[in-house]
Structure 1
Amino acid sequence: MTTSLMRQPLLIDMNGSNWSHFRDVPPADTEGVRIYAVGDIHGHLDHLLAMQAAIAADRAQHPVERVMIVYLGDLIDRGLHSRSVIERVIAEQNAADETTKIICLTGNHDAWLGEFLADAAVLPLWGRKGGLETLASYDFSPEEILRAMADPIAAEVMRLALVARIPQRHKEFIATLLLSYQQGDYFFAHAGVNPDRSLMEQRKEDLTWIRDRFLCSGKDFGKVVVHGHTSGPRVESLPNRINVDTGIYATGVLSCVVLEGARRHLITVDRGTLRALREQQMETQHG
């Protein structure tokens, strides 16, 4: 296991904004469960496989009775292997035993796929934002995708073709993704929450799309919100929220926050670690 795949301590950043109202708040707790929260994957299969291996190695090195793995949404789009990413996460769900719970949230990109299966009108926008790569992973050519993006009739033909082509298990997976999940003192959502609503009153558009109103808020939301959606150069670990999206399609970095009791740790997979893993595999194959 390369060094960058090993867990690193993740401190809570109390600098900058006025966080004084959090100083007397008890540390967030996971109620006896270790949580691995994985940021936006965006069709990057190699990063996903390396992260799953890193989580398995972390569990072996730090045994625990119960584990929850949370995928924070945007499994698809932008990267070249969206279909394979969906297939791999479904396989992980099917293989999970009683010690492991797999939670998959819907991101705005995942929602676009579901919307396109019902309405071809979403294609021009979705295609420009990464849908082209997802459709290509289901064996549509770039030329026919671009033609469909410009022609409503061709878009409807492509929608019907995808409905027929996409595996039923993928349709069911996309249709049953969760908008949010709670465990202990943590609340998981793809984009975040509306600071003006309680956690129980959040709307789909906020949970999958919100940015500045949430990101700029120093409010105690009642639970620590763990999210992705808004990419940055590093994981943000704040008193009221944790942003796990490190912009994989631009930076080549996939991040995972490990939450256990009141402790936070970080596991990352980057292009360098992928190269090191490939070299290790080649050395093993050649003795």
Structure 2
Amino acid sequence: MTDLDPVGSDDEDRDDDRADDEETPPNMARVFDFALGGSENLEVDREFSAEVDAMMPGMSALCRAHRRFSAAVVDHWAADGVDQFLELGSGLPTVDHVHSRARWVHPGARVAYVDWDARTVAHARRLLSGVDGVSVLHADVGDAAAVLTAPEVRDLLDLARPVGVLAVGVLHYLLDDAAAADAVRVYAEALAPGSGLAISHLTSVGRPDIHTWATMNHGGWSYAPRLRGPDEMSPWLEGFTVVGPGWVSAPHWRPDAPAPGADVTGSGLWGVVARRG
């Protein structure tokens, strides 16, 4: 994963928003918003979503499954007293996003969002303009040290207190296994006892269409993921205690009930939640 160019000026951002759909490439954060039923998307994003769903039926359902998982995790953490959150690869804060969900329980909950796409970050900052206790950082989530020391995170979140870290639908874009493991380790080591880590990750188990998606030429508008399974990712959780049913089908995860695996449901997503002791 590499950073895009720095975020442009406000005037440039507004010009981008007014651009004709046919002159604007699809944006994956806007495509995700469309899949969730949001309104922060353009016709070009909707057309791209339809093309993807025609080739890989269920792509939109994958987006909704990621969101069901993150919603269940945030609900669990908030009920457990966590009122600080760091979301990696956050996209646009639109439908049922972390700060709105967490504030049902903790009105003063603080949330730092991180995304590597400059246009997405500029768009998210406009949507959150005037919202206290929320920040949006433009950074590569694979550079955990840079994320944790950035003012948007350092000045908003108190890492001496529990923080819920959401890596939902993002780690499969860290293609190098060692780099992905190292990034998770750096985030984990920075967290206080009582903090949580949630991961959802694409898998082709039971989903040959996802294998096709992962091996095709994406042309720069979307990104080929690295597919992994629990055996490869479990070592990332060293120092944590797994919460609930362990590695399961992400949209079926609940903290206090068993759940089937992605190999059973064909959801295309493994999910796990863990707590730092």
TM-score by length of 2: 0.31
Larger radius of gyration: 1
Instruction: Select the structure with the greater relative contact order (CA < 8 A; seq sep ≥ 6).
Output: 1
